[in-house]
Structure formats: C-alpha cells, structure tokens
Amino acid sequence: MSEENKRTEIGELGEFGLINQISKKFENKNSSTLIGIGDDAAVIESGDKVKLLSTDMLVEGVHFDLSYMPLQHLGYKSVAVNVSDIAAMNGKPQQITVSLGLSNRFSVEAVEAFYEGVRFACEDFAVDLVGGDTTSSPTGLIISVSVIGESPKDKVVYRKNAEEKDIICVTGDLGGALMGLQVLEREKEVFKTNPDMQPDLTEYEYIVKRQLKPTARMDLIFELEELGVIPTAMIDVSDGLASELFHIATQSQLGVTIYEDKLPIDQMTYNTAVEFKLDPATCALNGGEDYELLFTISQSDFEKIKNLPDVSAIGYMDKQENGLKMVTKGGNTVPLEAQGWKHF
C-alpha cells in the first residue's frame, strides 16, 4: 500500500498519542499565548493576570446515556467538568459558552431542562453564560462547553512543577463515579429485560450522584487561597488517579510512590466494588469522572493543609528512575499502570 493510502486507526495511537502527534506541528505566534496544549487549560496573558481557557465535548452514547441521565443533571455536569479544569490550574472560572447539537427528538422543554442544570452550576460556581451555538444534529445530543477562568500570573499551577519529595494529595474519595455507573448500567439491563421492574437506587444514592451530578472542587481552591498555599502541581481526576499521576510524573520528570491503604475510598464504593467482584483499589486507581483534585505540595506547606478534612495524603513524588509504583496493603510494591478512559 502506498504511503498516501495508509490508514492508521485512531485506537492505535490513542487520544494522547493523537494529540501529541498533531500538536507538535503547530507553533505559537502570539506573545499572549503563555501555555498552549498540554495542561488542564491554556494560559493566556491578560494585563497583569492570566486568563485560563479549557473546553470539553460530551457526546450522547459515548459520555452519557439519557436513559438514566436526567437532562438537568447533564447540564450541571457539563459545566462542572469544565470548571474542574480551571480549578486544576488554581484559577477561578468566570465565563462559559455552551454549544448544543440537537436531534429532532429534543423538544424546547428538554433543552430548557438542560439549561436549568447549566444555570444551577453557573450559580454554584459563579460563572456567566456568555455564548454558544445551537444547531441540529442527525442523531443524538452533542454538548461542547468552553470555559474562561482567571488567576494572578504567579498563582497558576501546572502539571510540570512537582518536585522530588513533594507530598501527593487528593480531595474527596475515588472510584465512586465508576461504581455509580456500574450500578446504573446493571439497572438498565434489568429494566430492558423486565420493564415493570422499577430500579430502587436508594441504597446506592451517593455513588449514583457521583456519576450523575459530580461537582468541581472549587472549595479546595478557596481554602488554599485562605491558607496562602500554592500546590507545586495539580490536575483534576477525570480519567482516573493512575492516569493523572502519570501526567504529573511525566511532565515533572519524576517518579511516584503511593500507598494503597491511603487511597480514599468511600464505604459504599468499597461495598459496591466487592458486590461487582472488582478490587476497590483498582476502581479508585482507574475509575474516571470523580473530578476530584490531585495535587502535590512541598513538605513545608503540607503542615498548613494537613488538617483540611477532605484532603488525603496518598504518597510522595519520587526520583524519575524509580518509576510509578504503589505499595500494597500487604507491603508489596507494584507498578502503577495508567489506563485512563479510552473512548476510542
């Protein structure tokens, strides 16, 4: 086959590989572009501050299933996941645009329900809806949100500046959104087989909410500001803890050691994992969509934040040659594998 007709499947490269391959062909020309592709948000000069810009696309049948995802929650989540990217840069979100592609199965009332969720999120995170595009789509719902945030220039936190011996911290708990998804998928199958069987999700309320209505951890950003603490590196946990640790380690040219017994796992997540015959630690490591913040902090600053109730220290940044590893509860050391979410 000739070179021109070569066909490489996107799955062979993966999302990160594809982005790398494409972005290296682009060169920045504007002095206001401080940081382009490669972090949670782009960093753009704006007077004596910087603007942060991030964008996410959510596609029906790939990122959400409307058979159990209420449109209002989906509107909320679409904003929250973008705000989370701004939080991950230690910034504050200010404006968003929301674009929708809608098939004719969506009514005005359905669109209004979606925007009701957008509006709640705008209130929770103090963001203004400033634009968007509304168009039709041949099939299903497509959502594209862009968010602009702001930060003082010297307070932006990147993925690349973690230092050896920094403490690795994470907010909240992990794996819940994945287990919520498992429960929802199982109930959907039951419902398909027997439509009279109404699912009772009461006992799974917390993890279902983690999946359907995640929040962005702006509370941590405000707490850090109050304490006068700036993390050395930060990222939000959208693809799974292992994958995000991999990004921080690679970009900071360091290794990572974490401890299995320090992983924050909610009891309901734990029990549901066991019920599904899954290892809870693996769910915490590789479950995506928790939208918690993973950050590294110098040992001297750790003293200031160690009493924050919703932050767990899970390990430390190691020398690069030591790689990424986890010390298990049994005391063994196993390599961490960054699985992430592969949508391709």
Binding of a second copy at residue 154 (CB under 8 A)?
no
Classify residue 277 as exposed, middle or buried by CB count within 10 Å of its CB (0-12, 13-18, 19+): exposed
Q: Coil, helix or strand for 34?
A: strand
- The encoded tokens of residue 129 equal 């809806």
Binding of a second copy at residue 339 (CB under 8 A)?
no
Q: Coil, helix or strand for 220?
A: helix
In the range 50-69, which residues lie near a second copy by CB under 8 A?
A: 51, 53-57, 59-63
Return the bridge partners of 144, or none: 57, 99
In the range 280-309, which residues lie near a second copy by CB under 8 A?
A: none
- The encoded tokens of residue 119 equal 């509006």
Binding of a second copy at residue 137 (CB under 8 A)?
yes
For residues 135 and 185, the answer to whether their CB atoms sit within 8 Å is: no
Kindly state the smallest distance separating residue 324's Cβ from a second copy, in Å.
Answer: 24
Is the CB of 79 or the CB of 326 nearer to a second copy?
Answer: 79
Binding of a second copy at residue 106 (CB under 8 A)?
yes
Q: Is 301 annotated as a binding residue?
A: no
Q: Look up tokens 């921080």; give the residue.
A: 248
Site size toward a second copy (CB under 8 A) is: 81
Is the CB of 142 or the CB of 177 nearer to a second copy?
Answer: 142
Binding of a second copy at residue 271 (CB under 8 A)?
no
Among 325, 65, 333, smallest CA distance to 212 is for 65
Out of 148, 178, 212, 326, the residue judged to bind a second copy by CB under 8 A:
148
Out of 135, 193, 194, 300, the residue judged to bind a second copy by CB under 8 A:
135
Is the CB of 48 or the CB of 200 nearer to a second copy?
Answer: 48
Q: Is 133 annotated as a binding residue?
A: yes
Out of 20, 37, 299, 334, the residue judged to bind a second copy by CB under 8 A:
37
Q: Is 132 annotated as a binding residue?
A: yes
Q: CA–CA separation, 225 vs 150, rounded Å?
A: 14
Give the distance from CA 217 to its chain's centroid.
Answer: 11
Is the CB of 104 or the CB of 194 nearer to a second copy?
Answer: 104
Contact code string over 2-31 relative to a second copy, x by CB under 8 A: ----xxxxxxxx-x--xx-xxx-xx-xxx-
Is the CB of 116 or the CB of 223 nearer to a second copy?
Answer: 116
In the range 82-101, which residues lie near a second copy by CB under 8 A?
A: 94-95, 97, 99-101
Q: Is 252 annotated as a binding residue?
A: no
Give the distance from CA 101 to its chain's centroid.
Answer: 23
Q: Look up tokens 């009279």; give the residue.
A: 196
β 49-59/92-102 pair status: unpaired
Q: Look up tokens 């290794």; give the residue.
A: 255
In the range 172-211, which residues lie near a second copy by CB under 8 A?
A: none
Q: Is 154 annotated as a binding residue?
A: no
Q: CA–CA separation, 95 vs 81, rounded Å?
A: 14
Binding of a second copy at residue 251 (CB under 8 A)?
no
Among 201, 212, 140, 214, smallest CA distance to 171 is for 214
Is the CB of 108 or the CB of 154 nearer to a second copy?
Answer: 108
Q: Give the length of the chain.
A: 344
Return binding residues for substrate.
Answer: 63, 289, 341
Return binding residues for ATP.
Answer: 115, 132-133, 159, 238
